[in-house]
Amino acid sequence: MGVEVFSPPQGAGEEKYVSHLNRRQALRLFAAAGVAGATAPLLSACSDTGSSDSSSALPTGPPVKIGMIVPLTGSRKDLGNEMDNGFQLYLKLHDFKLGNRKVELLRVDEGETPEIGRAAAEKLIKEDRVLALTGVAAAASMLAIKDVVEAAAVPLVGSNASPTSLQSAKYIWRTSFVANEPGQALGKWAADNAGGSLAIVAADYPGDDDEVNSFLEHFKGANGTVNGNGIRFTPFQQKDFTQVLSQVKNSGATAMFAFYAGASAVDFVKQYRAAKFPAGFKLMAPGSLTEGYVLKQQGADAQGIYTAMNYSPDLDNAANRRFIADYQKVFGSIPSTYAMASYDAAAVLDKAIGDASRPNLDSFSLNAAIGKLGQIDSPRGGWQFSQNRTPLQRWYLRQVRMDGALLSNVLTAELTTLG
């Protein structure tokens, strides 16, 4: 299994200043710059993440090894790229240091199966002897590596996969969200806004029905009316949704909840638009339906879709304004929740490594330091770890709209706080 070792470029982090662009200005700047923005210099190298500026102090010890497990190939490669981007951006803005120590980032491909993900964790822990792990895109991979991480007592700050069945872990922390939370956040709003009966369609993801079942529970708990006999499941990785969309369209439903991600989300949204549902029909979903790279591929077909997510690019706070501007300058695109959660994973490690370095730094002391962290000043808004080692955070309702010249998941309301 190959390992990609990321080392900072010569002179990285030497030129710094703080950007004060608001999001609208940043979007206009990006639109004017076009693709040239992808190769432009970094706007800023300062970020309010709750950690100290690593450039203002001498390193407190030798370099640290951090292992990153993300999809580098296969069907989830685009998701892996966004997770990688968020972590790399944080390193760029902090002189390629975490806790005032130079970082050696070792990236291993998560692959497409839980077995590959588990092998990646074993290699990083046993052969490369990393201080900590981060990443992990798939819920099945997270569950497969749990006992490896716990037995080795090496902390994993996961930045995407967070199944509800992951219980009693002492060394696994998540900066994303628990899988049942998007449905829980959206349930009451959907019941109040469905306008009649709501159809539910979802991919039959192996062992991953937390999101749709949670939505159904909270939708019905808020007196929402379900169309038909409950959930219409479609086969995992199905590409043709014309039959189920026709069933929903002819059912008399006035709204639909859909749970799809990745390539399936792209196919579903394009075929939904082609089906020409009547005016006023609402499509709502967990944020994965229109998030990040999938929205780019869906294009105008995604307009009008409502989603629940823990992040929106137009959140008006200082940390997000800087994050948006810096991300666009480096990568030429608007960041997703996947990039944001990985950026925050780096922020968690930054602060915890600095705290754990006194007097001695090892995986055990690092894990203890993570448990003592307070609030993280994040682009999503301030959050902190709950007793479940997941974020206590706000949830937002978004709608896909044109925001200036760009299509975006635009914030429309705050839904709830979960964690």
What's the CA dihedral at 105, 333, 80, 215 to 10 degrees? Answer: 130
Structure tokens, 175: 């900066």
pTM for this predicted structure? 0.86
Cα(165)–Cα(162) distance, rounded to whole angstroms? Answer: 8
**H/E/C letters for each residue in 182-241?**
HHHHHHHHHHHHCCCEEEEEEECCCCCCHHHHHHHHHHHHCCCEEEEEEEEEECCCCCCC
- The residues near 390 (Cβ < 8 Å, ≥ 6 apart) are 162, 173, 174, 176, 177, 178, 419
pLDDT tens sequence for the chain (419 residues):
666 666 554 443 333 322 333 444 444 444 443 433 333 333 333 334 444 444 345 546 789 999 999 999 999 999 999 999 999 999 999 999 999 999 999 999 999 999 999 999 999 999 999 999 999 999 999 999 999 999 999 999 999 988 998 988 999 999 999 999 999 999 999 999 999 999 999 998 766 688 899 999 999 999 999 998 889 999 988 899 999 999 999 999 999 999 999 999 999 999 999 999 999 999 999 999 999 999 999 999 999 999 999 999 999 999 999 999 999 999 999 999 999 999 999 999 999 999 998 778 999 999 999 999 999 999 999 999 999 999 999 999 999 999 888 899 999 999 999 99
Question: Which string of DSSP letters, residue by residue, matches 369-405?
Answer: HHHT---B--TT--BEE-TTSSEEEEEEEEEEEEETT
Residue length, the chain?
Answer: 419
The amino acid at residue 130 is V
Cβ neighbour number for residue 236 with a 10 Å cutoff: 11
SS3 (DSSP) at 195:
coil
Distances (CA, A) of 305 to 44, 211, 403: 33, 17, 14
Q: d(Cα 165, Cα 170) in Å, to the nearest integer? A: 14
- Alpha-carbon distance of 28 to 32, in angstroms, equals 6
Question: From CA 113, how far away is CA 307, in angstroms rounded?
Answer: 28
- Count Cβ atoms within 10 A of the Cβ of residue 284 and give its class: 0-12 exposed, 13-18 middle, 19 or more buried: buried
Quick one: DSSP state of residue 112?
Answer: S
> Beta strands of 276-336 (E only): which ranges?
282-286, 306-309
End-to-end CA distance of the chain: 36
Q: Under a CB-based contact definition with an 8 Å cutoff, are residues 216 and 191 in contact?
A: no
Q: Which amino acid is at 403?
A: D
Residue labelled with tokens 């823990």: 310
